[in-house]
Amino acid sequence: MSDNMDDKSSFLDTIIKSVKNLKTLEIRTIIGAFQWNESSRKIEYKPGEVKAIITQIDLLEGDITTAFSDEFLREPYDQIRDFHLEREKRGQEIIAGNLKAIQEFIKTAIQAFNEQEESAI
C-alpha cells in the first residue's frame, strides 16, 4: 500500500473515531446552586441541590431522551421546560448542519487524497 493510501486510511480512521466520540449530545437546563469552573469550562452542581432537565441525543441512532421531574409540568417551571425544549430543537438543527459540514469535509478530503495519489502516478 502506498504512503498516500496509508495517510488516507489513517485520516479516515481518525475521523471515524472522532465521530464515535461525539455520539451523544447532552443538553442540560439547570436551576439552583451551581458554579462555573473556569479551568474545565463546565458548570458544576451537586445532584439533588438543583432542578434539572436533561436531554440526550444519540447522533448516530437518532434516539432522543429527555428527563425531568413532575415539577416541570406545573407553573412556574413549565416555562423552563418550554425553554429547554426550544434549546433541544435548536440543538438538533445545529447537529444536522454540523453533520452535513463533516460529510462535505470528508468528501473534499477524500477527493484531495485521490487527486494527490493520481498526480503521483
Rounded Cα–Cα distance for residues 36 and 41 (Å): 7
Rounded Cα–Cα distance for residues 15 and 35 (Å): 34
Nine-digit cell string for 83: 425553554
Residue 84 has pLDDT above 90, yes or no: yes
Rounded Cα–Cα distance for residues 44 and 21 (Å): 22
At 23-73, the pLDDT tens digits run: 788 888 999 999 999 999 888 988 888 999 999 988 777 788 999 989 999
Nine-digit cell string for 8: 488516507
pLDDT at 8: 65
Domain count, the chain: 1
Other C-beta atoms within 10 Å of 48: how many?
6
Contact 53, 29 (CB under 8 A): yes
Residue 4 has pLDDT above 70, yes or no: no
User: What is the extent of the structural domain holding 107?
Assistant: 3-120
Q: Which of 9, 13, 25, 11 is nearest to 99 (CA)?
A: 25
DSSP 8-state symbol, 80: H
